[in-house]
Structure 1
Amino acid sequence: MSLEAAPIARRGGGWISPGLTTPDLKPADYTTRSRGSSPSERIGRDMGPPTWASAKASSARVHGGSRLGRNAYVQWLLAPLSRWRHYMMAGEQNDREVEKEKLNRMRGTGNNASADIQWQDIMRQCKQHMTRRRRLQTGVIVLLLLIWWLATPPLTRWYRRTSFLGGGSKFVIILAANPGGGVSEWKGGREYAIEKASMRNKQRYADRWGYTLEVANLVDKKEYSHEWRAGWEKVDIIKNAMRKHRDAEWFWWLDLTTVIMEPSYSLQSHIFNSLTDRTYRDINVYNPQKIEHPVSKTSESTFFLDATTLSAAGDNRASSIDMLIPQDCSGFSLGSFFVRRSDWGERILDAWWDPISYEQRHTQWTHKEQDALHHIYTTQPWIRSRVAFLPQRMINAYPEGACGNDQGLPARGCPKPLRKIKVSDPALALSENQDPEKLEAMKECGVRGVHYQEKERDFLVNMAGCQWGRDCAEEMHDFADLSYMLNRGRWERFKNWISGQDRRDREEMVREKERRRKAKEEWEVKEAEFKAIMADGEDGG
């Protein structure tokens, strides 16, 4: 057999093989003849006339179907299992076997059908039988599935809670429920509504970031009913929480009448990742109670204090901070504060909960545990080096009128948002030598800000003092609605804008705010009249 030229395919079917001769053995003589077109007519009579279209169809069946099937990705994913198994079991084929299979001259059954398929073989076969476009589409689908898996709430809470990823397990939120229910009075319908709304708000926030929520039921604290500490047992509750959650590091106390306005802020990003920039150690930066700091060198206590304790700012290291406290217009504000687990933390809690001090000074301490901590800070200088202060609006903003009048923000806004400033900047200090006009121009910006500012998107608001002349339930409901409006998705914002719901909600909030202002003024007038009547009665007596 000789091959002088390459076979040429004919449009009508078969191949032209010029110069290809092969012996045609016959019984009579052994002469040779030209082979002619291939396949021969003899074979065609037995198997049917082969055509170019039939050869293309056979090749398409071998390589996964028609061109439409290859481009239709969904059809490829739903291909019959037998064909996919054929691809997996086929193994590596040499080029001659592939060409024979294209010509429908042989059918490979897979040389590794009985062998165990290894993962690397599966991946190699997938790569061989997947086009570049299919590989790209598969990669996109795998990436989307991975994002969906990480965004699933239980899994999100898991990796945010782990100590080596999110670090949420280091934080415990302590919320006092049922205040006064077991000691001084029973709750009504509005008290139940406040408690339910507050617990739901804190639980959603804790679940989102992997924190632990510890709800302290004050009904079980009847052992304090015979003491002067009946209404301020939060110190003992913190100590019990430390014993219960031994793996936690920071314990965040929250009053029941608080609302987390920005649940998208984690404690780490909001405070603890930049603890040195968010806090100030020198109380002279903002000192509404005029506490002498540092301790005078003529004081007897200076003989027992080291240089770090005598320094105004301590050692300026975040690792030495064990307590975070905000300050309002009257001093320490303990509706929202942090305590760290440490030897110092245990000592300060023991000193804070000392019953001897309470029995001697309970008539003077009208603000209960707040006045007690102020007394310890003033008379026990050893605690100052471990205490840091946060701006009030960062973790414990007040509603309008809770601590004087809301001065608002400057016309051009604050120089920097509260979350981006360095609180320890000397330019923010409110010393007496500073220009009064400059201080007045700052208004609610910086460390002197006390009231909630919607434009600044403050983190938390505390309805402090709402028990006297205000409605706690209504205020919490209004702030919860405002938080929902500020944190809606884009689609929800678009729908409300189309329907005009945003405008109606804003108008309703303005009317409600004006109604509360008038109610407060009426209550203040009645209180003044009552005090005048009592004063006249005492003078007459």
Structure 2
Amino acid sequence: MSYNMPLDSPYVDEKKKQFNYKRRALQDRLGTFIAEHRKTVLAVFCALFVLFWFGSAQFSLFSRDPKIVLILAVNDGGGVHKWKGEQEWAIERISIQNKRAYAKRHGYGLTIKDLRTAKRYSHEYREGWQKVEILRQTMREFPNAEWFWWLDPETLIMEPQLSLEKHLFKRLDSLSYRILDDFNPLQLPLDIPYVDYSQEPELYITQDCGGFNLGSFFVKNSEWTKLLLDVWWDPVCYEQKHMLWEHREQDALEALYANEPWIREKTAFLPLRSINSFPSGACSEFSDDARYFYSEEDRDFVVNMAGCSFGRDCWGEMQHYGSIMESHAKRWWRRMY
């Protein structure tokens, strides 16, 4: 026995041998089980992999009954006027990955809706009006959700580390406004009779240089919202006005807000840059107005490349803001290299 060896070392060595033997025996049994049931183990592994990484958040093990659901509608049919090209498909994939990662990170629900060609949407206006019906479908799919967040496919969540609770819901009272006295691009009536502004808002939207913007908005799961969607989807709006209203469902909501007190009293507005910042090039006639445009210095939450298909480069804008988002996500020590 060595001079420095403790007196109980034989006992300790024996315990180590027993522990190592039990560990090897457990590993052998586990290896034997996997070998005998390798097909079952492989199937379970593949199923879990798909659920965690490719499944929508509504199937996630961490958000079976989400309180907030993101809605993203994409057009797998290839468009209305023309088939989508390679860049359009790439933009769609990036947008889906962006929303899926955000929902998974914060435990929100995510539903990805396909704007399939349907008989009642067979003309070129179907994609805008289908937004209302998708909202109704999603409310039936998630009856216990509290809020729904609609996002157009041309949007990117630029600050995915921020939860909606921290960024928005905890400061709605100070962030939102109800009366359009300071910012009213459509010159809508500032007030109409019988409006009770003491009611809690259940629809939060933004305004841009052209009026209401529905590229990113929040709506509460309530009976009021169901009634709003029924009126919004009224055949008078869809069948009679679709040739007159350039922005379709957006113009319909503006008309309802201007004339219906029960809709106005539960509608509130958020600053555009809080959930719906524009890239440079949008609202070109107001290029000097900082209220509209994304600020990298202020690290705006969402950028919406609205209207990029009309004379702008959608793919270039998506790449530009995607690179900004990735640079913000890097750790400080990685930015040094």
Are the structure 2 counterparts of residues 195 and 57 from structure 1 closer, same or farther at C-alpha, using a change threshold of 3 Å?
Answer: closer
Q: Is the 8 A contact 2:180 2:190 kept in 1?
A: yes
How far did 1:196 drift? 1.1
Q: Give the aligned partner of residue 124 of structure 1.
A: none
- 2 CA distance for matches of 1:228 and 1:489? 44
Matches within 5 A, 1:32-71: 60-62=6-8
Of 474, 477, 481, which residue of structure 1 is paired with 2:319? 477
Superposed CA deviations along residues 427-460 of structure 1, whole A, max 9, x for unmatched, are xxxxxxxxxxxxxxxx52xxxx110011000011
Q: Is the 8 A contact 1:171 1:250 kept in 2?
A: yes
Superposed CA deviations along residues 274-321 of structure 1, whole A, max 9, x for unmatched, are 2212211223242222222221xxxxxx4xx3xxx24xxx117xxx22
Q: Give the aligned partner of residue 179 of structure 2.
A: 282
Q: Give the aligned partner of residue 263 of structure 1.
A: 160
SS at match of 1:251: strand
- 2 CA distance for matches of 1:339 and 1:161? 20
Q: Give the aligned partner of residue 194 of structure 1.
A: 91
- 2 CA distance for matches of 1:83 and 1:197? 53
SS at match of 1:326: strand
State the structure with more CA Rg.
Answer: 1
Q: Is the 8 A contact 2:178 2:267 kept in 1?
A: yes
2:235 matches 1:355: yes
How far did 1:183 drift? 4.4
Matches within 5 A, 1:372-521: 372-404=252-284, 405-407=286-288, 444=290, 449-495=291-337
Output the amino acid matched with 1:330: G
- 2 CA distance for matches of 1:221 and 1:476? 29
- 1 CA distance for matches of 2:13 and 2:292? 68
Q: Is the 8 A contact 2:206 2:271 kept in 1?
A: yes
2:114 matches 1:233: no
Are the structure 2 counterparts of residues 81 and 256 from structure 1 closer, same or farther at C-alpha, using a change threshold of 3 Å?
Answer: farther
Q: Is the 8 A contact 2:149 2:219 kept in 1?
A: yes
2:204 matches 1:315: no
Are the structure 2 counterparts of residues 479 and 182 from structure 1 closer, same or farther at C-alpha, using a change threshold of 3 Å?
Answer: closer
Q: Give the aligned partner of residue 102 of structure 2.
A: 205
Runs (4+) off by over 3 Å: 157-163, 182-185, 220-223, 226-231
> Could you tell which deviates more after superposition, 197-206 or 282-291?
282-291
- 2 CA distance for matches of 1:461 and 1:324? 17
Output the amino acid matched with 2:333: W
Length, aligned pairs only? 298
Output the amino acid matched with 1:472: C
- 2 CA distance for matches of 1:469 and 1:204? 30
Q: Is the 8 A contact 1:180 1:231 kept in 2?
A: no
Q: Give the aligned partner of residue 249 of structure 1.
A: 146
- 1 CA distance for matches of 2:272 and 2:14? 65
Are the structure 2 counterparts of residues 365 and 266 from structure 1 closer, same or farther at C-alpha, using a change threshold of 3 Å?
Answer: same
TM-score (norm 1): 0.51
Q: Is the 8 A contact 1:198 1:258 kept in 2?
A: yes
Superposed CA deviations along residues 368-408 of structure 1, whole A, max 9, x for unmatched, are 1111100010111211111111110010000012013433x
Superposed CA deviations along residues 124-143 of structure 1, whole A, max 9, x for unmatched, are xxxxxxxxxxxxxxxxxxxx
Output the amino acid matched with 1:343: E
- 1 CA distance for matches of 2:115 and 2:238? 20
Q: Give the aligned partner of residue 170 of structure 1.
A: 67
Structure whose residues are more often strand by fraction = 2
Q: Give the aligned partner of residue 370 of structure 1.
A: 250
Q: Give the aligned partner of residue 49 of structure 2.
A: none
SS at match of 1:456: coil
- 1 CA distance for matches of 2:14 and 2:140? 58
How far did 1:230 drift? 4.9
SS at match of 1:336: strand
Unaligned runs of 5+ in 1: 1-52, 66-78, 86-152, 164-168, 296-301, 408-442, 496-541
SS at match of 1:283: coil
> Could you tell which deviates more after superposition, 284-293 or 325-334?
284-293
Amino-acid identity (%):
43
Are the structure 2 counterparts of residues 489 and 336 from structure 1 closer, same or farther at C-alpha, using a change threshold of 3 Å?
Answer: same
Output the amino acid matched with 2:112: V
- 1 CA distance for matches of 2:119 and 2:99? 25
Unaligned runs of 5+ in 2: 19-51
Of 8, 11, 15, which residue of structure 2 is paired with 1:82? 15
Q: Is the 8 A contact 1:183 1:222 kept in 2?
A: no
Q: Is the 8 A contact 1:393 1:450 kept in 2?
A: yes
Output the amino acid matched with 2:69: V
- 1 CA distance for matches of 2:98 and 2:299? 17
Q: Is the 8 A contact 1:183 1:221 kept in 2?
A: no
SS at match of 2:129: coil
Output the amino acid matched with 1:82: K
Q: Give the aligned partner of residue 185 of structure 1.
A: 82
- 2 CA distance for matches of 1:258 and 1:202? 9
Matches within 5 A, 1:76-155: 80=13, 82=15
Superposed CA deviations along residues 222-278 of structure 1, whole A, max 9, x for unmatched, are 441159545431110111111112221211111111111111111111101222122
Are the structure 2 counterparts of residues 159 and 209 from structure 1 closer, same or farther at C-alpha, using a change threshold of 3 Å?
Answer: farther
- 1 CA distance for matches of 2:70 and 2:220? 12
- 1 CA distance for matches of 2:114 and 2:64? 28
Output the amino acid matched with 2:330: R
Q: Is the 8 A contact 2:125 2:248 kept in 1?
A: no
